[in-house]
Amino acid sequence: MEDEEENIWIRCAGHGLQKFSLTNERLQDIGVVQAFSKNVYDILRLGDHYWLGTSAGIAVYDARKNALVATITQANGLPGNVVYSIEQDIDGFIWSGIRRAGYH
């Protein structure tokens, strides 16, 4: 997924979230995401926030602040922690595809 600042955002199994700058051809690990989960399966971008489906639940990463602004896991109501997909419907609701739990 490419942003307007010529960065390509890459989801990785084993490396979490990475950002590749097309300007300086540099790959950067996003450490705050790696600390939450090293496995990112899907990305949904909403403005400066990247909603990430991971092996540890859902993480919401703010690219401007370089910080996680929210996490959603089994501990706070998610039916499972392995989130393979995340999408927004036409009404603005966020849906996630969770291993062994379907869409929520």
* CA–CA separation, 71 and 40 (whole Å): 13
* Model pLDDT for residues 5-16, shown as the tens digit of each residue: 899 999 988 989
CB 96 within 8 A of CB 58: yes
9-55 pLDDT, tens digit per residue, is 999 889 899 999 999 999 999 999 999 999 999 999 999 999 999 99
Which pLDDT value is given to residue 9? 95
83 lies in some domain: yes
62-77 tens-digit pLDDT: 999 999 999 999 999 8
Q: What is the pLDDT of residues 74-103, one digit of tens each?
A: 999 899 999 999 999 999 999 988 977 656
16 phi/psi in degrees, rounded to 5: 70, -130
pTM of the model: 0.90
Q: 3-class SS at 86? A: strand
Residue 72 domain-assigned (yes or no): yes
Instruction: Give the structural domain span for 59.
Output: 7-103
In a domain, 1, yes or no: no
Q: How many domains does the chain have?
A: 1
Tell me what pLDDT residue 43 has. 95
2 falls within a domain = no
